[in-house]
């Protein structure tokens, strides 16, 4: 099974490519650039129609509304909404023509509820969920399912950056900042990226053939 892995630099994919032993095909991709989705989609389609598209690039900016610049807003929307939209536009018709496929959009609990100081991020993730539902209805007759995964605070580079910012502002240690984020859900734990990947694997499988337009929360009970 061939998997295309996209990142801003090939160096970021080096360990993944080595671990996969040739099953991963690395490709540079800057989600903030509006021309990039068409370029990478063309490159991917040259080698065949993909069965699964996972849109998981994302950025999170935290600031009060009055301190959220237009550039911050536009970059957040570009990476979190425009890039997934354009990749879907370029790849989903080919998937439908080939007989079906799966699209999995990595959203957030911020697609389901509001969080203070993250108005641009919440707006982008709400938009991503709305897009998910609209495309699910449009492509259901064509056997292309579209679903969203909505994790809580997940132990990724994005979380590390948020914890560093909390530590800087509050004077807490980095580990104390991580625990603050973990305590935002009733289970008091951070979400593991591996668990998010397992859910994506299920949604990409034959067992999920009739699941579309869904928003799966993986948040330790936060949204409840």
Place of tokens 């949604």: 203
Instruction: Kindly state the helix (H) or strand (E) to which residue 148 belongs, with its residue range.
Output: strand 144-151
| Strand bridging mode 52-55 / 24-28 | unpaired
What CA–CA distance (Å, rounded) separates 142 from 138? 8
What CA–CA distance (Å, rounded) separates 58 from 32? 10
Half-sphere exposure of 193 (CA within 13 A, CB side): 6
- Which one of 73, 117, 121, 216 is the catalytic residue? 121
Q: Is 216 a catalytic residue?
A: no
What CA–CA distance (Å, rounded) separates 9 from 37? 15
Contacts of 4 (CB under 8 A, 6+ apart): 24, 25, 27, 44, 50
Catalytic residues: 121
């Amino acid at each position: 099974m061939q998997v295309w892995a996209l990142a801003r630099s090939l160096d970021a994919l080096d360990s993944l490519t080595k671990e996969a032993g040739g099953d991963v095909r690395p490709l540079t991709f800057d989600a903030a650039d509006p021309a990039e989705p068409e370029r990478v989609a063309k490159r991917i389609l040259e080698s065949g129609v993909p069965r699964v598209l996972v849109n998981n690039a994302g950025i999170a900016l935290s600031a009060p509304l009055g301190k959220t610049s237009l550039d911050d807003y536009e970059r957040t929307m570009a990476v979190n909404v425009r890039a997934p939209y354009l990749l879907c536009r370029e790849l989903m018709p080919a998937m439908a023509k080939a007989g079906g496929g799966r699209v999995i959009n990595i959203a957030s609990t911020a697609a389901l509820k509001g969080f203070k100081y993250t108005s641009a991020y919440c707006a982008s993730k709400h938009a991503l969920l709305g897009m998910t539902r609209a495309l699910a209805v449009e492509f259901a007759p064509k056997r292309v399912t579209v679903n969203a995964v909505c994790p809580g605070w997940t132990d990724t580079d994005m979380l590390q950056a948020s914890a560093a910012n909390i530590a800087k502002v509050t004077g807490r240690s980095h580990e104390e900042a991580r625990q603050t984020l973990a305590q935002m859900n009733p289970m008091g734990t951070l979400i593991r990226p591996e668990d998010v990947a397992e859910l994506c694997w299920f949604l990409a499988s034959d067992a999920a053939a009739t699941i579309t337009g869904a928003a799966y929360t993986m948040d330790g009970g936060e949204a409840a």
